[in-house]
C-alpha cells in the first residue's frame, strides 16, 4: 500500500510543494508537508465514507448476492473516484468558493445556488439521521448482548438523548479538533478492519458464493437496489468542501492550481484506501455469513457485524467474543467518524446562510450543531429504515448534486474545458441512473 502511494505522489506535479525549511513560511507547503497533508486528508475522506461502506454494503450484498456485488464494485468504484475528482476541481476553480453552494452559484446563477443549497442541507440531514439511527441501534444491541444492563435500550428516549448529546458536546469543539478526531479514529479503524478480516478466514464458506439463485428479474432488481449503496460506500462528498477550505486557509501562498493537485492526490489515496478495504470487508463477510443472517440485519437496522453470534453458534466462546467485540467496536467507530464527517458538511452549508444572525462564526456554528442534534433526537426515536433513507433520499440527492451538476458545470464553463472527457460523461450518466435506481428497484 505504501509503495503504491509513493508511486502516486511521484506521478503528481513536483511543483505542488515548495522546497523551503519546514517552518520558514507557514503558508507554503514543503515536500514533507505535502506528503503529511495528503495522507491526513485521505484519512479524513476514508473516515467520512467508511461508515456506509463497511456497515450497510455487506447487508445489501447479502440481498443481492456476493458475486453480483463484487461485479458492481468493479464497475462503480472507478466512477466514484472520477466524480470526486471533478467535484474538487469545480470547487477549487471557483473564485467564490467559501461554500459549495457559492461555488455552484458562480457557475450556474443564484437560482440554482439556492436550489442546490436547500437539497444539500436536506441530504446531509437525512444522512445524519441514518447514521444516528444506525449508531443508536447497534450500540443498544451491543450493550444488551454484553449484559451491561437489562433495560431495553433500543428505542429508549433517554438512551437516544444520551448518545446524541455526547456527540453534540464533542462537535462544539473546533473543526480542526473534529478532523483530527476523525483521522486518529480512522487509523484505529483500519487496524480493526484488517484484524476482523483475518479472524473471519476460518469461517469462509465457498458455498455462500453460490447460495443465491439468480434470475433475470432478480439480477435487474438487485442491480437497481445495490448500485446506489455501492456508490454511497466510497463517496466522501460531505468532507470535500471543508477540506478544500482547510487547504486554502492553511497554505495561503499556494496557487489554486497547486491546491487542486494536492486535493487530487488526497482523492486518489482516499479512493484507493476505501476501495481496497471495502471490497476486502464485503468479500470476507459475504463469504462467511449466511443469507439468512444478512436478511435479519437488513430488517433490524443492524450492520452485518451485529449478527455474528447467531451465525457461528458452534465457535469457541472466547474467539467469538473477541470477534463480536471487535465487530461492534468497528461499527461504532465507523458510524461516529462518518457522522462527524457529514456534520462538517452540514455546518459548512448552514452557517453561511445565517446572515440574519449578527454573531461570530463560532456562535453560529454552535447554534447549528445544537439545533440540528435536537432534530436528530426527535427523528431517530421513530427508528426509520436506514437503507431506505439512504436509497430514497440521500443517494438520489448525492447523484444530482455531486455527479450531475458538476458535470453540467464542466461542460458549461470554458475554464473547465480540460475536464471534458469521456470519464466526465460517464459520471453524469451514472448520476442520472442513481437518482432513480433504488426507487425502481423497490417497484420492480
Which is more confidently placed, 17 or 142? 142
Give the number of other Cβ atoms within 10 Å of residue 219's Cβ.
14
In the prediction, which pLDDT does 387 show? 52
Rounded average pLDDT over 93-117: 83
In the prediction, which pLDDT does 35 show? 87
Distances (CA, A) of 57 to 49, 227, 232, 345: 12, 10, 9, 22
Closest CA to 179 of 81, 91, 266: 266
Domain map of the chain by residue range? 37-443
Per-residue pLDDT at 18 exceeds 50: no
Tens-digit pLDDT profile for residues 288-313 = 887 777 777 767 666 676 677 666 76
Per-residue pLDDT at 9 exceeds 50: no
Question: Going by C-beta distance under 8 Å and a sequence separation of 6 or more, which residues neighbour residue 118?
Answer: none
**Helices 157-171/110-146 angle, 10° precision:** 120
Per-residue pLDDT at 126 exceeds 80: no
Among residues of the chain, what percentage have pLDDT more than 90?
7
Per-residue pLDDT at 410 exceeds 90: yes
The mean of the pLDDT values for the chain is 77
Dihedral angle computed from the Cα positions of residues 44, 46, 51 and 57, in that order, rounded to the nearest 10 degrees: 160
Return the minimum-mean-pLDDT range out of 46-55, 74-83, 223-232, 297-306: 297-306
In the prediction, which pLDDT does 7 show? 41
Per-residue pLDDT at 44 exceeds 80: yes
In the prediction, which pLDDT does 383 show? 56
Tens-digit pLDDT profile for residues 149-164 = 777 777 777 888 888 8
Per-residue pLDDT at 15 exceeds 50: no
Which is more confidently placed, 334 or 444? 334
In the prediction, which pLDDT does 14 show? 42
Rounded average pLDDT over 364-373: 79
Instruction: Please tell me the CATH code under which domain 37-443 is placed.
Output: 1.20.1740.10
Per-residue pLDDT at 58 exceeds 80: no
In the prediction, which pLDDT does 350 show? 75
d(CA 190, CA 49): 13
Per-residue pLDDT at 22 exceeds 50: no
Q: Best-predicted range by mean pLDDT among 17-26, 89-98, 128-137, 270-279?
A: 270-279
d(CA 417, CA 209): 45
Question: Going by C-beta distance under 8 Å and a sequence separation of 6 or more, which residues neighbour residue 356?
Answer: none
Rounded average pLDDT over 325-335: 81
Per-residue pLDDT at 61 exceeds 80: no
In the prediction, which pLDDT does 318 show? 80
- Asked if residues 27 and 171 have their Cβ atoms less than 8 Å apart, the reply is no
Per-residue pLDDT at 422 exceeds 60: yes
In the prediction, which pLDDT does 19 show? 41
- Asked if residues 293 and 307 have their Cβ atoms less than 8 Å apart, the reply is yes
Which is more confidently placed, 439 or 383? 439
The 3 state secondary structure assigned to the chain is CHHHHHHHHHHCCHHHCCCCCCCCCCCCCCHHHHHHHHHHHHHHHHHHHHHHHHHCHHHHHHHHCHHHHHHHHHHHHHHHHHHHHHHHHHHHCCCCCCCHHHHHHHHHCHHHHHHHHHHHHHHHHHHHHHHHHHHHHHHHHHHHHHCCCCCCCCCCHHHHHHHHHHHHHHHCCCHHHHHHHHHHHHHHHHHHHHHHHHHHHHHCCHHHHHCCCCCHHHHHHHHHHHHHHHHHHCCCHHHHHHHHHHHHHHCCCCCHHHHHHHHHHHHHHHHHHHHHHHHHHHHHHHCCCCHHHHHHHHHCCCCHHHHHHHHCCCCCHHHHHHHHHHHHHHHHHHHHHHHHHHHHHHHHHHHCCCCCCCCCHHHHHHHHHHHHHHHHHHHHCCCCCHHHHHHHHHHHHHHHHHHHHHHHHHHHCHHHHHHCCHHHHHHHHHHHHHHHHHHHHHHC
Rounded average pLDDT over 66-73: 81
CA angle 105, 108, 114 (to 5 degrees): 45
* Model confidence pTM above 0.85: no
d(CA 427, CA 332): 32
In the prediction, which pLDDT does 380 show? 66
d(CA 60, CA 42): 26
Amino acid at each position: 500500500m505504501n509503495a503504491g502511494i509513493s508511486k502516486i505522489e511521484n506521478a503528481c506535479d513536483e511543483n505542488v510543494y515548495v522546497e523551503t525549511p519546514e517552518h520558514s513560511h507557514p503558508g507554503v507547503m514543503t515536500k514533507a508537508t505535502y506528503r503529511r497533508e495528503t495522507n491526513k486528508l485521505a484519512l479524513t475522506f476514508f473516515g467520512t465514507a467508511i461508515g456506509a461502506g463497511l456497515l450497510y454494503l455487506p447487508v445489501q450484498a447479502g440481498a443481492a448476492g456476493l458475486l453480483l456485488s463484487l461485479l458492481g464494485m468493479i464497475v462503480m468504484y472507478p466512477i466514484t473516484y472520477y466524480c470526486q475528482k471533478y467535484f474538487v476541481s469545480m470547487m477549487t476553480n471557483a473564485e467564490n468558493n467559501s461554500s459549495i453552494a457559492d461555488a455552484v452559484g458562480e457557475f450556474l446563477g443564484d437560482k440554482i445556488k439556492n436550489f442546490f443549497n436547500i437539497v444539500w442541507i436536506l441530504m446531509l440531514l437525512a444522512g445524519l439521521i441514518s447514521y444516528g439511527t444506525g449508531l443508536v441501534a447497534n450500540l443498544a444491541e451491543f450493550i444488551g448482548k454484553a449484559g451491561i444492563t437489562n433495560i431495553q435500550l433500543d428505542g429508549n428516549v433517554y438512551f437516544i438523548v444520551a448518545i446524541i448529546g455526547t456527540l453534540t458536546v464533542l462537535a462544539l469543539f473546533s473543526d480542526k479538533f473534529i478532523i483530527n478526531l476523525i483521522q486518529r479514529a480512522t487509523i484505529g479503524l483500519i487496524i480493526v478492519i484488517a484484524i476482523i478480516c483475518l479472524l473471519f478466514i476460518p469461517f469462509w464458506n465457498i458455498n455462500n458464493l453460490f447460495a443465491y439463485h439468480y434470475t433475470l428479474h432478480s439480477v435487474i432488481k438487485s442491480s437497481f437496489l445495490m448500485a446506489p449503496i455501492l456508490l454511497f460506500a466510497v463517496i466522501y462528498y460531505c468532507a470535500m468542501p471543508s477540506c478544500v477550505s482547510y487547504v486554502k486557509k492553511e497554505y495561503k501562498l499556494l496557487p489554486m492550481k497547486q491546491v487542486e493537485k494536492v486535493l487530487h492526490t488526497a482523492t486518489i489515496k482516499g479512493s484507493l484506501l476505501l476501495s481496497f478495504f471495502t471490497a476486502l470487508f464485503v468479500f470476507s463477510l459475504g463469504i462467511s455469513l449466511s443469507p439468512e443472517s444478512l436478511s435479519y440485519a437488513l430488517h433490524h437496522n443492524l450492520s452485518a457485524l451485529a449478527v455474528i453470534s447467531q451465525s457461528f453458534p458452534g465457535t469457541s466462546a472466547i474467539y467469538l467474543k473477541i470477534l463480536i467485540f471487535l465487530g461492534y467496536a468497528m461499527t461504532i467507530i465507523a458510524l461516529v467518524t462518518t457522522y462527524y464527517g457529514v456534520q462538517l458538511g452540514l455546518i459548512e452549508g448552514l452557517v453561511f446562510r445565517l446572515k440574519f444572525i449578527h454573531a461570530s462564526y463560532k456562535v453560529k456554528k454552535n447554534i447549528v450543531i445544537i439545533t440540528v442534534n435536537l432534530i436528530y433526537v426527535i427523528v431517530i426515536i421513530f427508528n426509520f429504515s436506514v437503507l431506505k433513507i439512504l436509497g430514497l433520499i440521500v443517494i438520489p440527492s448525492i447523484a444530482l448534486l455531486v455527479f450531475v451538476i458538476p458535470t453540467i458545470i464542466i461542460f458549461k464553463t470554458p475554464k473547465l474545458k480540460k475536464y471534458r472527457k469521456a470519464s466526465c460523461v460517464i459520471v453524469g450518466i451514472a448520476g442520472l441512473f442513481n437518482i432513480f435506481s433504488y426507487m425502481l428497484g423497490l417497484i420492480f
